[in-house]
Amino acid sequence: MAYFDNANSTRVDERVIEAMMPYFTEFYGTAGMELSHSRDVGAVTGLENARRILAESLNADPRTIIFTSGATESNNIAIRGTALANKDRGRHIITTPIETQSVLRSCERLAGAGYEITYLNVDEYGQIDLDELKTSIREDTILVSIQHANGEIGTMQPIDEIVRITSERDIMFHTDATHSYLRVPINTEQMMANLITFDGHLIHAPKGVGALYIRRKTRLKRMHEGGDEERRLRPGVENIPAAVGFGKAVEIWGDGDNKYLLSLRKYMEEKIASSLTEYKLTGHPENRVPHIYSIVAEYIEGESILVQLDMEGFAISTGSACSSKTLQGSHILKAIGLPPEISHGSIRASFSRFNTKEEIDDFVEVLIPSIERLREFSPLRRGVYFANEEDDGHHDHDLPKDDW
């Protein structure tokens, strides 16, 4: 029994829950006014303390941090907010095809409103080419949005170099650091990004709270209208208990945590390498976050592996089309050039401080025979691939219509 899907979401740490409780039962006011009753004062104190902790973790001033409902919202504010604020300077945005949906669809929405988006190529590991970035920059480029680390394959982008390029040309740089935050150091005094997205639920804080780092003097149009919360950039009563939890989660992230995560991943790598055949690791071998292990295994399909492992008490995830709501395969595996029949066999295990080596032992003991069983009756076993050999007229993935 083990949960290896921490890049999807994480268990909330006991200490985080404990830190949050008083903000449900005692300091349950709002953070609007400092000179208010004690319920409000308690709330604002808690919120501002959390803000300070988050800022310190990036070596930044607390005024750079706004709380949001999560990475999706942070990405929307960052991308659409800067695009709109800078529309008189230009309408060209550069990003990558391996970003999350909130980045991609924010860009698509802007494309529909007269902006032009360039999607940089990524190599087989998912890394961008800095030269291609340089040559893609135009007179009218206003924003570059490139994730710090990929949540599916773990690959990290060279954001130090990227931001050097963008700042030289006075172009805004946004990075979605959801999967890299705390796992690698981010120092905003050295890495001068304008906007950084990060989220709580991946680091043992609750869901529904994220943050956006906004460098001083970065022009941004707000997405919502409302009161004066979060410097009017993101009005609305904040999720104070969750923000406090977020702060606590950051506070308790230990120096040893990342070393431990790396050791777990290395252990998983070794154990699987010694017993599984016909698979390969995905993502960059070195420039990657410590806690994500992802492979593609041949001849089998991801959802059946996921369900089989779940039956045995193990949680992992897959990028296979069959397992997605829309029957679309992972856009990341597609972007790194994996043929669809291979990417259907994708398996991702992602670790947290709660995982152990014993869990990995148990997992591998179940994984190998599970894969073997599926390979036994797979028609692809003999290496016979025949894509579109026959007319497949009836083979339509008819998704049920959403007629609400």
Partner 1 sequence: MYSDKVMDNFKNPQNMGEMENPDGVGTVGNPVCGDMLKIFLRIKDNIIVDAKIQTFGCVAAIATSSITTQMAIGMTLEQAKELTRQHVADALDGLPPQKMHCSNLAADALHKAIEDYESKQN
- Binding-site ranges for partner 1 (CB under 8 A): 299-304, 307-308, 311, 320-323, 325, 327, 329, 339-341, 344, 376-380, 385-390, 392, 394-400
Comparison of 111 and 399: residue with beta carbon closer to partner 1: 399
Among candidate residues 84, 182, 322, 368, the one labeled active-site is 322
Comparison of 202 and 335: residue with beta carbon closer to partner 1: 335
Cα separation, 229 vs 251, whole angstroms: 24
Our answer to whether residue 107 is catalytic in this structure is: no
Considering the complex, what minimum distance in angstroms separates the CB of residue 1 from partner 1?
18
* 134 contacts: CB under 8 Å, gap ≥ 6: 165
Comparison of 114 and 393: residue with beta carbon closer to partner 1: 393
- Count the Cβ atoms, other than its own, within 10 Å of residue 288: 26
> What does DSSP assign to residue 79?
H
Structure tokens at 380: 């692809």
Comparison of 223 and 322: residue with beta carbon closer to partner 1: 322
Q: Are 149 and 157 in contact (CB under 8 A)?
A: yes
Q: Are 234 and 224 in contact (CB under 8 A)?
A: yes
Q: What is the amino acid identity at position 376? A: E
Among 53, 76, 65, 55, residue whose Cα is nearest residue 176: 76
Considering the complex, what minimum distance in angstroms separates the CB of residue 222 from partner 1?
37
309: enclosing H helix or E strand: helix 302-311
Comparison of 17 and 366: residue with beta carbon closer to partner 1: 366
293: enclosing H helix or E strand: strand 292-297
Give every strand in the sheet of 279-281, ordered side by side.
Answer: 279-281, 292-297, 346-350
Considering the complex, what minimum distance in angstroms separates the CB of residue 374 from partner 1?
8
**Annotated catalytic sites, by residue?**
322
